[in-house]
């Protein structure tokens, strides 16, 4: 079991950093979605392959996430999944580190 009181301030700082990063991602995502001008990579793809190629680009996530209709909601779901995966990975690393240190 992890002693939460011992790690309270590091946990608070980690959650604060994650919150700031999520805010930055949300703002950057909003600016990218709201912009009518494509970024550099998008412009190169459109110039080489045409506008219709970008519209018909297949995604491997369509079967799993086809119920999401809003771009903002899709971004939020992606952020939540990423944070959950990072939390699980960090928990596994900390648990293994504590087991090797104590055992």
Q: pLDDT tens for residues 43-56?
A: 787 788 877 766 67
> How many Å apart are CA 59 and CA 95, to the nearest integer?
35
Angle, alpha carbons 41-27-84 (nearest 5°): 95
Residue 34 has pLDDT above 60, yes or no: no
The answer to whether 46 and 38 have CB atoms below 8 angstroms apart is: yes
- The larger pLDDT score, comparing residue 61 to residue 82, is at 82
The separation between CA 45 and the C-alpha centre of its own chain, rounded to angstroms, equals 24
Domain borders along the chain are: 20-54, 70-103
Q: For residue 25, what pLDDT band results from cuts at 50, 70 and 90? A: confident
> What local confidence, expressed as pLDDT, does residue 60 receive?
63
Segment 55-81 shows an average pLDDT of 71
> What local confidence, expressed as pLDDT, does residue 2 receive?
67
Angle, alpha carbons 74-20-24 (nearest 5°): 50
Segment 23-35 shows an average pLDDT of 67
Task: Pinpoint the alpha helices (H) of 1-103.
Answer: 8-34, 40-49, 51-55, 62-65, 71-102
């Amino acid at each position: 079991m992890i002693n939460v009181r011992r790690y309270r301030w590091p946990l608070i700082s980690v959650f604060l950093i994650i919150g700031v990063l999520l805010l930055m991602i949300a703002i950057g995502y909003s600016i990218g979605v709201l912009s009518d001008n494509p970024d550099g990579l998008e412009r190169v793809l459109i110039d080489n392959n045409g506008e219709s190629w970008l519209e018909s680009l297949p995604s491997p996530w369509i079967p799993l996430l086809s119920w999401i209709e809003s771009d903002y909601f899709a971004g939020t779901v992606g952020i939540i999944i990423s944070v959950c995966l990072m939390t699980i990975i960090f928990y596994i690393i900390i648990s293994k580190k504590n087991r090797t240190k104590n055992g």
